[in-house]
Structure 1
Amino acid sequence: MPRTKTKLFAGNRLRQLRQRESMTQAALAECIGVSLSYLNQLERNHRPLPDHLLQTLCERFALNPAWFADTREAHAVQALRETMADPIFKNAPLPLAKMVESARQSPELCEAFLTLYRAYTFDQERREHAPSASSPPPLEPYESVGNWVQEHHNYFHELDCAAEDFYETIIQDTQPLSTALVRHLQERHGLSITHSTDMHTRGLVWRIDRHKHQIQLPHDQPPESTLFFLAQIIGQLEHNRLMTDILRREGPKERNAQELARVYLGNYFAGALILPYTRFLQHAQSVRYDVDDLRRHFGVSFEQVCHRLSTMQRFGAEGIPFYFLKLDIAGNILKSFSANRFSQSRFGGPCPLWNVFRAFATPGQIQVQLSQTTDDSIYLNVARTVGREGLNYADRPRQIAMVLGCTIQDAAKTVYAAGLDLQDHTLVVPIGPGCRACGREQCSHRSLPVSGRVLDTGSNARGVVPYRAVPER
């Protein structure tokens, strides 16, 4: 199916670029070879950004085209839709068109509004559960880091290149990567590897004992986990300064968020080292993004491949922009990264029609689904359970599944589109942001009415769903 061409309105991004480069409109217009009045129209979103100017901007300022995409706008609109579903706004409904316009024209104001709403909901919960408490507003470090990662489309160029350069320096074709990493740690840092039987009871996955010049690892962990942890350790020992520079230059400002962002960058480096960008992308494209083939070829886990696929956004060598989510059987989202427009639900939990929940019924098997979100975007979703088996009868390993998704325009590039008619949308499953904000009124899976709307239960007829919202004017 051919890619649908959409107009790109990037006025806010152009203003951000000018401010970052300390340029006037006249200077930027001259730099990219357009008139001042035309640039002014672009910044006001009166005109879309054409492809040739997008290419010029990316070349002049070393930017990824995804930097100008409307992904942030789409996520803001989704957040506004869910927020405006709160009954507190029932007397001040905001049409979807107005939400889109607000996210496009005033993104900073939208973010301030969402921040205020989060503070309001926190205060309401605090008053309900502890009326006499006087706790401060939530820091929300996870959300701060998530927003920061999303701003970079889950790709950090300096760190990715550093990991790839390190890989090419130490790798030998006749030697597994894990052996090369062990040798490097011994020769460069004087650290040998030992295995401990009580790491799990201490809640540790690795530990550096500098007194004994040892790295302690669990004795029974899978080899792909050992590989990832060794890469983490090398990142911490040798690339900590680079991570600090990234955080100081552009990272979250709040302390807890900065610490979590540092953990994220350490994990990012490890993933980029064990799955080096160029080699990984070339093989991924050659096998049409077959996750099982990729994990066997590189000796890593299903999760590590999925996570890495969501980061392949290097300028001039982009892979498919995937979103990636990891959640437990109760619907708690443990990881969430997106290089496309897909946005997770902020309230009410994920939609039960999503194939990631069906994956729990078929452990270890891949579930493929075409789904349509409430903004009419269609995605190809690949879901599967992951995780370890129980160590003994008393052990309760966490039940986890993950989903990797791309737009239907990119689906044909993957092996998972085999046998699917991408032009026939009859069997596309409609999914929503959670029942509270989802406007799909006839869904038989609805667990509660949509918020902020007048309900009509009907006196002469009863539908599959016993409550319907009065149509908006």
Structure 2
Amino acid sequence: MNGIDLQIGGRIRRLRRQKSVSQAQLAEALEISASYLNLIEHNRRRITVPLLFRVAGYFGVEPGELAESDDARLAGDLMEMFGDDIFADADLTNTDIRDLATHHPAVGRAVLKLFDQMRHLQAPKSSAAELPVTGHNVVTEAVSDFLQENANYFPTLEAAAERVRQDIDNTSDSFEAGLKTYLFNVFGIETRLASLPNGVVRRLDESGRVLLVSDTLEPESELFTLAQHLALLVGDDPIGALIEQSTLPQPDSMGLARNVLASYLAAALVMPYEAFFRACRDTRYDIERLGRRFRASFEQVCHRMTTLQRPSMSGIPLHLVRTDIAGNISKRFSLSGIHIPRHSGACPRWNVYSAFLNPGQISVQLSQMPDGQRYFCIAKAITKGGYAHNAPRRHVAIGLGCHVTHAAGMIYADGVDLSAPAGAVPIGVGCRICPRRECGQRAHPPADHRFMTDDGQRMENLYMS
């Protein structure tokens, strides 16, 4: 049978790595050669329909889910990159960029990494740490890509969390008390509240036997920081193996990746996969209710929701974004299909920004991208900081959402007419690659447009002309 033109190699490779299966093992199970599987994983060979179904059956996913491509995300990142002023005279079209993402994805990713590195080197340096004083950093982007490539789901960390959580639950009816008991009984570490310098949430004393935790933390943050310290201890081997198997630029990104994966394991300890999945389903993703049940913060619950990607028990494919009041995006992840900017701020029409106008309240928005795809998005502005009188505060907004086809599964969609196109707010990825010329909130003209002024007419925004 003839092959079908699906660029799904990256998805197969990601699923294989999630299950810790070698190319040789998967090839044997699929009754094909390892060399042929290698070509498929690098999108150099088309996949037949029977083989597509065998792969889907092996991983326990629907063929339609497997056939979803990562090309759109890569194409979006490339369009954003080529929208930079240095490519102003390149005369590249959207078709050219999509062809690059579809037919030569490895080349596209290599160019993207090169551009990331260039921006990193060009960024102004601080005199102290000699690090870029910009929201973009090649290391953070590499770690973000690593999470995206793995669909923010790590089976080995989930398994480690389940083993430890079972031991903790067997020692106490209270998770917090059991966590402290486990730290003491297994690692000889006692925990105490203490007055620590601003910015320090926990610290081992000189003996290495007492874990000091800041007394300015909120209860949810105090519990999470204890869980994260335990995660670093019990997850040393699986976390190290994940980093070693990755394509992260070592050693620059090793420390950040280790911290991010420890936070993943900590969240799995606080919110065990199966219990949390069932609670999400039963409450229809009611974040505040789940936060109370699991003693977790709004952000922690949202982040854990994005990790529900176990093939036999998967949740709604979500996107997550965190931004500060200046528009700097510090977290971005998308399984919903929506594109979150890599190098710049997102669209000001997106409710993740307007959430700052009503802090503490959940904002709901039906958003429509220029390609016609619609997404259901919620956002909430929160204040982070210690309880002390003069403790510094940080203001961030958390955005969470899904494709409109999954929106009915979320309680926040109740009362929203999801089928009415007129009710959707038109948003874009970023001004430089957004074709909406009529938008009065433009900060830049489209990359392929050079505006002209007219002394006889003044537009609301010069970039609309």
* Alignment TM class, shorter chain as reference: 0.7 to 0.9
Q: How does 1:293-442 map to 2 (within 5 A)?
A: 293-388=289-384, 391=387, 394-442=390-438
| Secondary structure at the counterpart of residue 70 of structure 2 | helix
CA distance in structure 2 between the partners assigned to 1:144 and 1:87 by the alignment: 23
Give the structure 2 partner of residue 75 of structure 1.
Answer: 73
- The 3-state SS of whatever aligns with 2:431 is coil
Check the 8 A contact 1:64/1:315 in 2, yes or no: no
AA in 2 matched with 1:183: T
1:272 matches 2:268 = yes
Listed one character per residue, the Cα deviations across residues 357-412 of structure 1 (whole Å, up to 9, x for unaligned) are 22111111110111122333211111112234675664431111111111101100
Equivalent residue, structure 1, for 2:186: 188
Q: Which amino acid aligns with 1:10?
A: Q
1:9 matched residue in structure 2 = 6
Distance 1:120 1:212 in 2: 41
Any idea what SS the aligned residue of 1:453 has? coil
3-state DSSP class of the match of 2:446?
coil
- CA contact under 8 A between 2:172 and 2:178: conserved in structure 1? no
Specify the alignment match of 1:200 in structure 2: 197
CA spacing shift, 1:388–1:12, aligned 2, 3 Å: closer
AA of the residue aligned to 2:145: N
Distance 1:64 1:253, change over 3 A: farther
Structure 1: runs of 5+ lacking an equivalent: 1-6
Letter in 2 for 1:111: R
The corresponding residue for 2:105 is 107
Amino acid at match of 2:374: I
CA distance in 2, matches of 1:90, 1:330: 26
Q: Which amino acid aligns with 2:287?
A: V
Report the secondary structure of 1:114's partner residue.
helix
CA distance in 2, matches of 1:67, 1:256: 34
SS in 2 for 1:306: helix
- Kindly indicate whether structure 1 or structure 2 has the higher relative contact order, using CA contacts under 8 Å at least 6 residues apart: 1
SS at match of 1:279: helix
Percentage of pairs with the same residue: 32
CA displacement at 1:300 relative to structure 2: 1.1
User: Aligned partners of 1:175, 1:23: CA distance in 2, in Å?
Assistant: 45
Aligned in 2, Cα 1:395/1:222: closer, same or farther, shift over 3 Å? Answer: closer
1:168 Cα deviation from its structure 2 partner = 2.4
Q: Structure 1: which amino acid aligns with 2:300?
A: Q
Q: What are the within-5 Å matches in structure 2 for residues 222-237 of structure 1?
A: 222-237=218-233
Letter in 2 for 1:167: R
**Is the contact between residue 153 and residue 311 of structure 1 (CA under 8 Å) also seen in structure 2?**
yes
Cα 1:110/1:370, change in 2 over 3 Å: same
Residue in structure 1 matched with residue 167 of structure 2 by the alignment: 169
The gaps in structure 2 that reach 5 residues or longer are none
Aligned positions of 1:450-465 closer than 5 A? 450-457=446-453, 461-465=457-461
Shift, 1:190, TM fit: 2.1
* SS of residue in 1 equivalent to 2:146: helix
Q: CA deviation at 1:228?
A: 0.8
Q: Specify the code of the residue in structure 2 equivalent to 1:57.
A: V
Q: Report whether the alignment pairs 1:31 with 2:28.
A: no
Q: Deviations over 1:416-442 (max 9, x none)?
A: 110011110212111122222221100
Is this contact kept in 2: 1:73–1:104, CA < 8 A?
yes
For residue 32 of structure 1, report the CA deviation from its aligned partner. Answer: 6.8
| Equivalence for 2:141 | 143
Amino acid at match of 2:176: S
Looking at structure 2, the residues matched to 408 and 394 of structure 1 have their Cα atoms a distance apart, in angstroms, of: 43
Q: What is the CA-CA distance between 1:285 and the residue it aligns to?
A: 0.2
Q: Could you tell me how far apart the structure 2 residues matched to 1:30 and 1:178 are?
A: 45
Q: 1:155, 1:314 within 8 Å by CA — same for their partners in 2?
A: yes
CA distance in 2, matches of 1:200, 1:107: 47
Letter in structure 1 aligned against 2:141: E
